[in-house]
Amino acid sequence: MSGGGPEDDELRRRLTPLQYFVTQQRGTETPFTGDYCHHGAAGTYGCICCGAALFPAATKFDSGSGWPSFWQPLAAGCVSQHPDPSHGMQRVEVRCGRCGAHLGHVFTDGPEPTGERYCINSVALDFRPEGEA
């Protein structure tokens, strides 16, 4: 997460207030409002802060939760997991493996083959259509 300084100033200039709130202050967007909630194009979802590739569209599914959901990240290490006891719950926070931006949470009620549901805020993502670098 950002802690001030030139990098934080650059993020504040580049991101919308909601993107900054979610990725840097561990916020959450309102369910069913994000651009990628019902998005279905082929490609890759990346981190809005640093551009790291995070989730292939082929692992996206409709969980009915109101946030984009994926059953598996693109590769080991592209996201990191951290205990999150906030709001009186025991959850697992998901962050970008490169820059540490807050993305959302992972739950164990997803589909096979992994049984995981990465519930990710749309505003934390940037989509690259298949065939684009």
Task: Map residue 38 onto helix, strand or coil.
Answer: coil
Start-to-end Cα distance in the chain: 26
Q: Which residue in 37, 47, 96, 119 is the catalytic one? A: 119
Cα–Cα distances (Å) from 113 to 1, 34, 102, in that order, read 31, 26, 25
Angstrom distance (rounded) from CA 63 to CA 86: 23
Q: Which amino acid is at 26?
A: R
- Do residues 3 and 37 touch, judged by C-beta distance below 8 A? no
Q: Is 119 a catalytic residue?
A: yes
**Dihedrals φ, ψ of 109, to 5°?**
-115, 30
Catalytic residues: 119
